[in-house]
Amino acid sequence: MAHAAPTPGARTPAALTPLPDVFSARTHRIAGIVTPVVLGLIYGYWAAANRRSGGEITGWNLLFGFVTAAVFMIVYVGVRALAPHMRRELHAIVWAAFVGAAFGFLYSEAGAAIIRSCVMGAVIGAVTFVVMFYRYYTHEDAAGHRIG
């Protein structure tokens, strides 16, 4: 079968038009507030459930869950605010440290030994670093500006 040969400098229609933004600016602002709250509440519930090991829910367990949720939300908002202003290497390291520490804490609340929790958090953090670095390396220039 014959196919048309690509010509040098020819651009496909997909490369000329960016993807449309289907959500309004208001929706993006609301999502910027709702996302940390929802993720924090899920994380806090998960940590509290791990701590009680399937036992009864107590006031201290509720307090632990809400404090954990609040700390998670604050750190998450801080990472989202600061990380985009860094070079891609530091950007990936910040996200890897956040995800690794969050996972390691949840793992330790499930009753695992502290060394195993640290190792598991480091492994998850390393995997997160590789994924995030690849993403930022392919979507940013060396100065950290988005391509496209």
With the C-alpha atoms ordered 121, 126, 131, 132, is the resulting torsion angle positive or negative?
positive
Beta bridge partners of 140: 146
146 and 105 belong to one structural domain = yes
- Residue 79's domain comprises 35-85
The Cα–Cα gap between 15 and 95 comes to 30
Phi, psi dihedrals of residue 122, rounded to the nearest 5°: -65, -40
Domain boundary among 53, 68, 85: 85
Token duo for residue 121: 């958090």
The Cα–Cα gap between 22 and 51 comes to 41
Does pTM surpass 0.85? Answer: no
75 and 107 belong to one structural domain = no
73 and 114 belong to one structural domain = no
DSSP secondary structure letter of residue 146 = B
Number of structural domains found in the chain: 2
Token duo for residue 79: 């990472």
Q: Are 81 and 32 in contact (CB under 8 A)?
A: no
Q: What is the per-residue pLDDT across 4-20, written as a single tens digit (0 to 9) for each?
A: 666 666 555 555 567 77
**Band of pLDDT at residue 28, cut at 50, 70 and 90:** confident
With the C-alpha atoms ordered 121, 122, 128, 132, is the resulting torsion angle positive or negative?
positive
Q: What is the per-residue pLDDT across 129-139, written as a single tens digit (0 to 9) for each?
A: 999 999 988 88
Alpha helices in the chain (DSSP H): 13-16, 25-52, 59-82, 88-109, 114-139
Whether residue 56 is predicted with pLDDT greater than 80 in this model: the reply is yes
92 and 143 belong to one structural domain = yes
72 and 44 belong to one structural domain = yes
Domain-embedded: residue 60 = yes
76 and 98 belong to one structural domain = no
**Band of pLDDT at residue 140, cut at 50, 70 and 90:** confident
